[in-house]
Amino acid sequence: MSALLLYPTAFAIFVVFLFNLRSLLNRRSRPLPPGPTPWPIIGNLPHMGAVPHHSLAALARKYGPLMHLRLGFVDVIVAASASVAAQFLKVHDANFSSRPPNSGAKYIAYNYQDLVFRPYGARWRMLRKISSVHLFSTKVLDDYRHVRQEEIAILTRALANAGSSAVNLGQLLNVCAVNALGRVMLGRRVFGDGSGGGDPKADEFKSMVVEVMVLAGVFNVGDFIPALECLDLQGVAAKMKKLHKRFDDFLGEILEEHKVSLRDGRGKHTDMLTTLISLMDNADADGEKLTETEIKALLLNMFTAGTDTTSSTVEWAIAELIRHPKILAQAQKELDSVVGPNRLVTDMDLPHLTYFHAVIKETFRLHPSTPLSLPRMASESCEINGYHIPKGSTLLVNVWAIARDPNEWAEPLEFRPERFLPGGEKPNVDVKGNDFEVIPFGAGRRICAGMSLGLRMVQLLTATLIHAFNWELPDGRRPEKLNMEEAYGLTLQRAEPLVVHPRPRLFPEAYRRI
């Protein structure tokens, strides 16, 4: 009997050997993109460094803008130029429209039930359609214009009343972004009166969002060497599970309060969560219904990706303008001519601010909120620029490196808004995924669903802060000495929070109007 069992086993081993040999021969006949030599078992994981988008940019300078890495047992393809990114996100977009398995989506994002990490397919298309129609359509954004303006006015008043105290600008921006989103999504503020004055819940929420972005940005060994996943060598999975519990409690409480309020008929609900809850009971045009888990997963996406990216981008913009007082003065001159000294900026002013929009584009270029694109996965093998891209490969687009590519940009490390003005080097480039030289929101089918809201919020917040205040660093620090180092995570945080003195520059009545 044992001899009989031996033959099938030997045959199976032989088949596996032939399969691996064929794969090896195929790879030799169809070369992979160049890249650094991988280490045994762990592959190129040591090459990722403490700040992966920096490390990958350095590797691209040596091996070229299309690279192959082996992270554990996973093929990873890195795109680090606009032309290469366009091949993946435009020409072969359909093939790279799904996400690879990862611990962040599994342990934090409700096991791939959200919009950001859900695999491409019918259910993802349903969530995308719901978001496009009910959350981010032009009509919805216009209907809630007053909410954004009111919350920014409250922030502006708080800054004007700061007196001689220095403020942590990023923290206040985060409270503003969360409360603006909360009023749209939930019909109420999430934190206090919106001023951000010493609210411990706001501090805790900000720390939770930062932690989720840091953990989601970690290259977890278990994602690339499946046999080690259960060991959780970095402790990442355990931290993710604890953080998910905190978010689930936070979101579950919000959802339950809303459902009770709706059952009791208290108040008039015109917020987005009410619409989402209605889709649990009433199917859409295609007969699909939302589940409670999907609603919480959507809320998680909104309250993490929809707030942290906004506040960090505005924080980077103000930091750059502090370092470049001539650019700040030019932006203020334009705002003064369009808005005047008696009121704050509104959405209706934004189309008339040509130089200001160049400032925003330059901020997105140098400080993209997601420096490494969220990973995509090859559904089938394909060929890019003569190189073989294996099925199941993970694609990373180095958005940060592309936006600093000296082959695309003159003096790429300099903050120069003029490059986007008529007569500049890139006057017609936008940030909406059509021009691959600067793609802070991604491109193609998996472009950020909340791009329109994010753009409006970043633009209005930044314009208001530029127009309403002059900015000084505490303790007489010189602007050119401002720390501009990055802290790596899924989103691009400042290594050192921006602490500033806001100095009001408008007439007093401008800060009192809401």
pLDDT at residue 155 greater than cutoff 80: yes
By three-state DSSP, how is residue 161 classified?
coil
What pLDDT is stored for residue 192 in this prediction?
74
Q: Is 446 within 8 Å of 97 (Cβ atoms)?
A: yes
- Considering the chain, what percentage of its residues have pLDDT values greater than 90? 72
User: Domains in the chain, ordered, with CATH?
Assistant: 42-511 (1.10.630.10)
For residue 377, which phi and psi values (nearest 5 degrees)?
Answer: -135, 140
Average pLDDT, the chain: 90
What pLDDT is stored for residue 188 in this prediction?
83
**134-138, 277-281, 442-446, range with greatest mean pLDDT:** 442-446
pLDDT in tens, 362-376: 999 999 999 999 999
Give the pairing type, strands 382-384 and 387-389.
antiparallel
105-109, 146-150, 300-304, 423-427: least confident range:
300-304
What is the average per-residue pLDDT within 184-205?
76
What pLDDT is stored for residue 200 in this prediction?
73
What is the average per-residue pLDDT within 490-510?
94
pLDDT in tens, 197-236: 656 777 788 788 888 888 888 889 999 999 899 999 999 9
Q: Distances from the Cα of 388 to the Cαs of 38, 77, 93, 459, in angstroms?
A: 18, 10, 16, 41
What pLDDT is stored for residue 177 in this prediction?
93
Q: Distances from the Cα of 38 to the Cαs of 118, 389, 475, in angstroms?
A: 30, 17, 48
Q: Is 230 annotated as a binding residue?
A: no
Q: pTM score > 0.85 for this model?
A: yes
What is the average per-residue pLDDT within 489-512?
93
pLDDT at residue 396 greater than cutoff 90: yes
Q: How many CA atoms lie less than 13 Å away from 7 in the CB half-sphere? A: 3
1-15, 316-330, 381-395, 410-424: least confident range:
1-15
Judged by phi (left if over 0) then psi (alpha if -120 to 50, else beta), residue 146 lies in alpha
What pLDDT is stored for residue 287 in this prediction?
65
The C-alpha angle with vertex 194 and arms to 193 and 197, in degrees rounded to 5, equals: 85
Calpha distance 72→222 (Å, rounded)? 9
pLDDT at residue 488 greater than cutoff 90: no
pLDDT in tens, 8-62: 444 434 433 444 444 455 455 689 999 999 999 999 999 999 899 999 999 999 9
What pLDDT is stored for residue 198 in this prediction?
59
DSSP for 464-484 reads: HHHHHEEEE-GGG--GGG---
pLDDT in tens, 86-125: 999 999 999 999 999 999 999 999 999 999 999 999 999 9
